[in-house]
């Protein structure tokens, strides 16, 4: 059985200081009017991940919920994760997964939708992580740039899915 590779489970939801040695990425993307429900469905069913180039999610992965494990693939790399928290409120829904043994990073990434009073939606990604494999450590700052590029692609994919009818 694989285990989470970090101690501060839920750190993306807590909003406190970033643990020493970790980096924080925060990205907010407006999705537009009347997109919240479609975006939530695409998020929790892994459609956002599947719509992102180079990211593969096994077809039998259950809907995102606490303790659900997913093994993301990007080319030859495998990134095993476990959903560590979810939120499902009237105007806020999403989840975070944490890294498991074998993931090239160590930490947590949250994907949260926020519905505004005018019925527009924003998509927020928060990642708090550090390298855990020699090859991600070797990337140095380029690794953080790559993580941001993937987050931007997640946002583009979800925006496209949320706007399609």
Using one digit for the tens of pLDDT, what is the confidence trace for 112-135? Answer: 999 999 999 999 999 999 998 878
Average pLDDT estimate for 65-75: 95
Tell me what pLDDT residue 86 has.
Answer: 98
pLDDT band at 2 (very low <50, low <70, confident <90, very high): low
Average pLDDT estimate for 5-13: 94
Residues 142 and 148 sit within 8 Å (Cβ to Cβ): no
pLDDT band at 145 (very low <50, low <70, confident <90, very high): confident
**pLDDT digits 0-9 by tens, 149-165:** 999 999 999 999 999 86
Average pLDDT estimate for 107-116: 97
CA-based torsion, 46, 48, 51, 57: positive or negative = negative
Whether residue 47 is predicted with pLDDT greater than 70 in this model: the reply is yes
CATH topology of domain 24-163: Alpha-D-Glucose-1,6-Bisphosphate; Chain A, domain 4 (3.30.530)
Of the listed ranges 44-48, 83-87, 141-145, the least confidently predicted one is 141-145
Tell me what pLDDT residue 143 has.
Answer: 83
Comparing CA positions, the residue from 156, 133, 157 lying closest to residue 143 is 133
Residues 22 and 14 sit within 8 Å (Cβ to Cβ): no
- Intra-chain end-to-end CA distance of the chain, in Å: 41
Main-chain dihedrals φ then ψ at residue 55, nearest 5 degrees: -105, 130
**pLDDT digits 0-9 by tens, 23-38:** 999 999 999 999 999 9
Q: What is the pTM of this model?
A: 0.95
CA atoms within 13 A on the CB side of 62: 7
Torsion angle of alpha carbons 86, 33, 31, 95, nearest 10°? 0
Tell me what pLDDT residue 43 has.
Answer: 98
CA atoms within 13 A on the CB side of 77: 11
Which residues on neighbouring strands pair with residue 53, listed in sequence order?
A: none
Structure tokens at 153: 């692609």
Q: Strand, coil or helix: what is 59? A: coil
CA distances to 20, 86, 114 from 66, in Å: 26, 7, 20
pLDDT band at 1 (very low <50, low <70, confident <90, very high): very low
């Amino acid at each position: 059985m694989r285990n989470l590779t970090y101690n501060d489970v839920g750190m993306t939801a807590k909003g406190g200081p970033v643990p020493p040695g970790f980096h924080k990425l925060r990205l907010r993307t407006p999705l537009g009017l009347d997109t919240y429900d479609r975006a939530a469905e695409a998020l929790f069913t892994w459609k956002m991940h599947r719509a992102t180039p180079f990211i593969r999610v096994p077809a039998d992965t259950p809907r995102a919920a606490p303790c659900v494990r997913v093994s993301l693939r990007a080319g030859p790399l495998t990134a095993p994760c476990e959903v560590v928290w979810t939120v499902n409120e009237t105007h806020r829904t999403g989840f975070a997964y944490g890294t498991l043994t074998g993931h090239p990073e160590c930490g947590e990434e949250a994907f949260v939708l926020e519905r505004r009073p005018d019925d527009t939606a924003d998509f927020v990604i928060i990642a708090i992580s550090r390298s855990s494999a020699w090859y991600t450590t070797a990337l140095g700052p380029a690794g953080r740039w790559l993580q941001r590029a993937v987050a931007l692609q997640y946002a583009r994919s979800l925006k496209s899915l949320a706007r399609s009818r």
